[in-house]
Chain A
């Protein structure tokens, strides 16, 4: 996939005073209270904080799958709020990859078919999509499992498939939700090494939401969230 959207943007992500509330008929829960955040292109950025602090809401806003209420949030210079639903869906499909805590691979499809999905959604021919998917699966060490179903793979292998799926269409941003929390320490470390080795190539940006303090050291920067706000950002040396 060509990355042709506003490549001269200085930041990958820029959020200023972003707020988001969830409303029901009787209650209103404030999830984001004015988040300010900058993430640079080519950076591995982590969002950490206690449960309910707004990490998942923020990552959903950044990934363009949730509208924010006020403030400004742009991804590679594009503000999702200014896009129609169709434009946002298309933009997401081309520029953003997803990795989830529970892998979320479609159980009826083989690993190659699962990895092919983003390419097919972007209009790539099936044959070409299969070829490129197999190539990425080999890169993540699953060359022997091209025809396996997700149920036949270990947790670590499934997460590798999910990473391959996030990489295959060469997105500019990958958002990950707790990618290692379902894995043991050794496998989690392997996955993070894989992220650093494969996912960060070509100025790609990674935003990872995690509780897992064992992997904080893989991040270029770590933002700490509390009660809907980013309360601090630490660099690689912990400063």
Chain B
């Protein structure tokens, strides 16, 4: 019956598709943004524990430690190795005189632990070359690319061998790496810890984190407790640190509320369009439902018909909406758009659209249950 009424059928499919697109896309962008907040933790896979000042609230909230803390941590029972890590913002001066703030990561000189996950050009060991830095690929092509001769001329991507000026210090690009984009989409520059000390503005303390590997046979929670007790520092596993960072952003920024509103509005739009259209379809077809009832159709059968039609609309609409969202995710793959679409999001979207169709069907159910078959004899 519904498919016979093409206008209403298309309106309902459009409503569900729009809802499913909004829910899928907004949730994916939200997750994409959230994953960028912890991208650096994901990229730094080797250590078991992240050791930091107890007041640190998230990964970019750097509260530098005294260098002696490194030695204290190394002395804790169960620690196999502990290396320093610098993480800070340093301004790079571009050839045209403008400045670009970069996330500079200073790796332990001896081991280069916590280096970039994927090298596109050069090797991690090239950092040992004089003034060597590794730049992330997106920045090399974008924010750190060399400007053209004129403002309209295309930029030239940064290449191995190019020179950068970091806080008035000479730096030579020795490698290009692929890293997870940061929340603020700032360029990421890797160098050695000692060189980072040279690049960084003068401060009394510069040690951002201590990365720890636990000895085999030691429970991470026990090692973390010992570090906390003996060095008066906080020690978290990567999972815990990601959780802390995400909770900070959830609690202290408007991001979840803004996305939550968008997703909620998407849901309401779906309920409004689909519900209203389907309800008017039911009202328009009360006579035919009455005829079916007069001819022997039970209330159960009529409700099954309604459910089948709403779920058909739900399936087609959510499929279309998610299809468009998936297509967007493919387009967004190498862009600035934060888009992360794990399998859970389509499941959530299907549940949401199922809920919409169920609400719609339930709203019509009362009308059908109260339907007097006597309607068939009214003019």
Contact = CB atoms under 8 A, between A and B. Distances in A.
A binds B: yes
Interface of A: 56, 59-60, 63, 65-66, 86, 89-90, 92-94, 98, 100-102, 104, 106-109, 117-118, 121-122, 177
Interface of B: 1, 3-5, 287-288, 291-298, 301, 372-374, 376-379
Contact of B291 (A60, A94, A98): A98
A56 B376 CA distance: 10
A108 B374 contact: no
B4 A92 contact: no
B297 A121 contact: yes
Contact of B298 (A60, A63, A89, A101): A89
B315 to A, nearest CB: 19
A108 B4 CA distance: 5
B294 A108 contact: no
Given A108-B5, A117-B295, A100 B288 contact: no
A92 B376 contact: no
Nearest to B288: A106
A177 to B, nearest CB: 5
A101 B287 CA distance: 13
Contact of A92 (B296, B372, B378): B296
Contacts of A93: 295-297
Contacts of B379: 101-102
Most buried by B among A59, A94, A101, A106: A106
Contacts of B1: 106, 108
A104 B288 contact: yes
Given A104-B287, A117-B292, A86 B372 contact: no
Contacts of A104: 287-288, 291, 376
A121 B305 CA distance: 12
B294 A86 contact: no
A127 to B, nearest CB: 20
A181 B4 CA distance: 28
Contact of B297 (A56, A63, A89, A100): A89
A86 B374 contact: no
A94 B296 contact: yes
Contacts of B377: 56, 59-60, 65, 100, 177
B376 A65 contact: yes
Contacts of A60: 374, 377
Nearest to A60: B374
Residue of B1, B3, B288, B295 with highest tally of chain A CB at under 10 A: B295
Contacts of A86: 298
B365 to A, nearest CB: 16
B4 A100 contact: no
Nearest to A149: B4
B293 A89 contact: yes
Contacts of A100: 291, 376-377
A65 B297 CA distance: 12
Contacts of A63: 294
A65 B294 contact: yes
Contacts of B378: 56
A93 B373 CA distance: 12
A56 B287 CA distance: 16
B372 A98 contact: no
A108 B295 contact: no
Contacts of A94: 296
B294 A98 contact: yes
Instruction: Name the residue in B287, B296, B297, B374 with the highest tally of chain A Cβ atoms < 10 Å from its Cβ.
Output: B296
Contacts of B294: 63, 65, 92, 98
B370 to A, nearest CB: 12
Contact of B4 (A59, A98, A107, A118): A107
A206 to B, nearest CB: 16
Contacts of A122: 296
Given A106-B1, A108-B3, A66 B296 contact: no
A106 B297 CA distance: 14
Contacts of B292: 117, 121
A151 to B, nearest CB: 10
5 contacts: A60-B374, A65-B377, A89-B293, A92-B295, A98-B295
B291 A121 contact: no
B296 A90 contact: yes
Contacts of B372: 65-66
A63 B375 CA distance: 13
A94 B296 CA distance: 8
Contacts of B376: 65, 98, 100, 104
A101 B378 CA distance: 10
A118 to B, nearest CB: 5
Nearest first, the 4 closest Cβ-Cβ pairs linking A and B are A93-B296, A108-B4, A65-B373, A121-B296
Contacts of A117: 292, 295
